Amino acid sequence: GEVCFPIWEHPRIAVSSSHVVIWGGTCVYIVPLTGGTLHRFDQDEPVDAVYPVEGLWCFVCELSVRLFDPAKGDEVTRFEHNEVLMRSWWSGDSLVVEDFEGRRIRFKSLAVGSELSAQYE
């Protein structure tokens, strides 16, 4: 397949045991590692980081964190924040996200069928 991004976006890549995700700006492409069709999933805000989570993908966006199901091609759940999310990382089994004001938000139990439960640190 072919991927297209605006010239000012630098594409990034994440790989899980089953898929490859290529993203830049609001464009997200997902393709199975076994081959098959490349699918494009446009988001309504820029995607800053992507992490594989038990068959799903966690998108850390400019103002939200989302769980996305590549099999259904749809968002499973979303956490909306009131400030720009600047960076994210894994700490043990939790995803930690830091916003523009330096506040940290911890997400535990990111899994199929779960809500995004946030704890502010």
Instruction: Count CA atoms within 13 Å of residue 7 on its CB side.
Output: 0
Looking at per-residue pLDDT, the higher value among 111 and 51 belongs to 51
Residue 114 pLDDT exceeds 70: no
| 56-96 per-position pLDDT tens digit | 999 999 999 999 998 888 999 999 999 999 999 999 888 99
Residue 117 pLDDT exceeds 80: no
pLDDT at 112: 56
| 21-55 per-position pLDDT tens digit | 999 999 999 999 998 899 999 999 999 999 999 88
pLDDT at 118: 82
Rounded CA gap, 23 and 6, in Å? 11
Spatial contact of 20 and 33, defined as CB atoms under 8 Å apart: yes
Percent of the chain with pLDDT over 70: 94
